[in-house]
Structure 1
Amino acid sequence: MPYFTLKDGVTLFYKDWGNATGQPVFFSHGWPLNSDNFELQMNFLGNHGYRVIAHDRRGHGRSDQPWNGNDVDTWASDISELFEHLKLTDATLVGHSTGGGDLTRFAAKSKAHSGYGSHGSKSSWVKKLVLISAIVPQLLQADWNPSGVPLETMNQQRALMLKDRSQFFYDVPEGPFFGFNRPNATVSKGLIQSWYNEGMQASFKSAFDTIASWETDFRHDLQSLDIPVLVIHGDADQIVPFGVGNQTTKFLKDGRLKVYKGGPHALPNIEVDGINNDLLSFLKET
């Protein structure tokens, strides 16, 4: 698999699968995971002729583990450099959870840039955006965002990481992330172990610092977008409350909401066929 070194010396791991000349789809993963968490969507779209790309965010997975730069603006800049390196154009972005935040910031900033079309012609970097269980418009609770997560809860998560990250990183997938704590839930030990393995690959510093990104207000970023945006959220999400995602479209010029009844936070893992087909249908729209 390829690696790319950023201007600040940090090396990112990324996957570039599928049809090398196909329409590009770029994925950004949630916390504290890596690009492996989108493998079923990448395999599905790759088999449908798309070029599918995903990176391990700095500090996560197989990428370098720098002390600094674990913030939304740096992540968006990292994606910009990777887009330049791969000469991507007219890409559809797909972000889950925290990945929906960095892709929203990247899409907003990319309006000032251009990519490389065929024969060297200039073209836009971003064509469409998909936000799945994303932390936009803001995960942190506020007067305008009463459904958000209180700061006290985020501080509790920081404390649990400092006390025993290993145990915390079992408690999250065993409970709210996949919705396995709900009555009559079908529990997958494999998904729990996979989440734990990916989470423990991330550096402690990067995983800890990422919690601060959940306080980011993305309303201005969303309002600046003039591309089609598909917002997908489960109404039983215990990580990013449905009341947060449900209001995203009101900040968009061209947004629509797809609700998964009873859907947990981990829709790409739990609702694989539904998410795959949602993505394919959105990609096929002109």
Structure 2
Amino acid sequence: MAKGKNGKSEKAAQKAGPGTGFDLDDPTFPAELEERALKSGGYPYDDKLKRKVYEEQLQVLQLELIKLQAHIEQAGERLVVVFEGRDTSGKGGCIARILERINPRHSRSVALSKPTDAERGQWYFQRYISHLPTKGDIVLFDRSWYNRAGVERVMGFCSEDEVARFLRDAPEFEALLVRDNIRFFKIYLTVGREMQLKRFHERRHDPFKQWKVTEIDIAAIGKYDDYSRAEADMLRFTHTAVSPWTVINANDQRRARLEAMRVILGALDYEGKDRAAIGEPDPKITQTGADYLAALNGKS
């Protein structure tokens, strides 16, 4: 059997499900999956956004982010954006492009590793609180407390009682943040099954991306449907008027990055805001959590 970078047999864990014919260790990605990847999950576009168009729009939106950050600093506001989503959906790429041009002294990404023994004995939200911003700062969470509703639940790292308690408490916790005048956004990136397999395969065989492949990622390959059920529960219980979710289909990472910026910029006021340059989020790939959940229920 093929062995992974940790020396463990992974052949059984690498199967994506019946009938896919997918093996993570095979250097050739199946042609039939390649053909379906971009359109998987009902993605509405036949082609990725052209690089030139993407770079032109990215520059415009990054300029608006510079204006927004200046306002946040001057007004003493605090901005928090939670990025959640399926493995390989591009959370880190979105965050990197948002932070790329703005002042790093007043903006940062938070990506916490698994909790320590001491943290496991704390109130679940406690370890995230110390990473919230002070006045004038921007914090982007690359995964967050929603680990409990996703990976921890699917991988059996917590009990169903703990999940239920989290789904009850998360909206209350977030309401406290909003009442304390934190500007708060939750963005969920989804990706079609075949596109996810393609990206897992790219990570496995690209020496510059192999560090991204973890044992949890490999175990997740065959759990797409389990994550779908967890995703639906998360949206059902934690999409609220006070702290709503925005869901972006991220099969095309270029479009997804621009959409995430538009969602944030469009919702906030700041000096010199160019509304025409920002434009509106694309309703074909960007929805409220409620609308996305309704569409999921319509398919079931």
Q: TM-score range by the shorter chain?
A: 0.3 to 0.5
The structure with the greater share of residues assigned to strand is 1
Larger Rg: 2
The structure with the greater share of residues assigned to helix is 2
